[in-house]
Amino acid sequence: MPVVKRIEPLDADILTQRVFACNPDKESDVVIDAVREHIDEWGYEAIFRSNPKGKQEIRLRGKCIVYLIQGSFELGAELVDVDAHVVDREGFGYAIEGEELIRLRRQTAVVIIYVNWTGDKELLALGPELRQGNTGL
């Protein structure tokens, strides 16, 4: 199961204001720092990606949190039932492991924070566990 936790920001309203108070495409460092601060996870590397049109495939390089600013993304290299693998609840981070890629749908913006989790202890501290078949995404 690729999505193992959904992470709620400390203050979703303030985070949203900070993100949209700037131009994320030109000030991605501001967006990244705001997301890191509000989900209380800094990781070892973070990137901002947006996709104004079409679909954009992003290869993941390990365990990460994908914070969905707006839009939606698909999980999985080979999707049989696409709708069952779509993440579209904006304003949350999603801890992902065991997945090689995500596909950003049109009009989507995300921050991806790569993390060095070594066990379940770090994941359990993040928030409610998501179970396969009942992800609530």
**Where exactly are the structural domains of the chain?**
3-124
Residue 36, pLDDT > 90, answer yes
Burial of 102 (0-12, 13-18, 19+ CB in 10 A): buried
Backbone angles phi, psi at 82, to 5 degrees: -55, -45
State the chain's mean pLDDT as an integer: 82
Helices (H), the chain: 12-20, 28-39, 120-124
CA 117 to chain centroid:
16
Q: Mean pLDDT lowest for which of 9-13, 15-19, 23-27, 91-95?
A: 23-27
Q: How confident is the model at residue 114 (pLDDT cuts 50, 70, 90)?
A: very high
| pLDDT at 131 (0 to 100) | 41
pTM for this entry: 0.83
Q: Among positive and negative, which fits the CA dihedral 36, 26, 103, 82?
A: positive
User: What pLDDT is attached to residue 98?
Assistant: 85
CA atoms within 13 A on the CB side of 81: 2
User: What topology does CATH give the domain 3-124?
Assistant: Jelly Rolls (2.60.120)
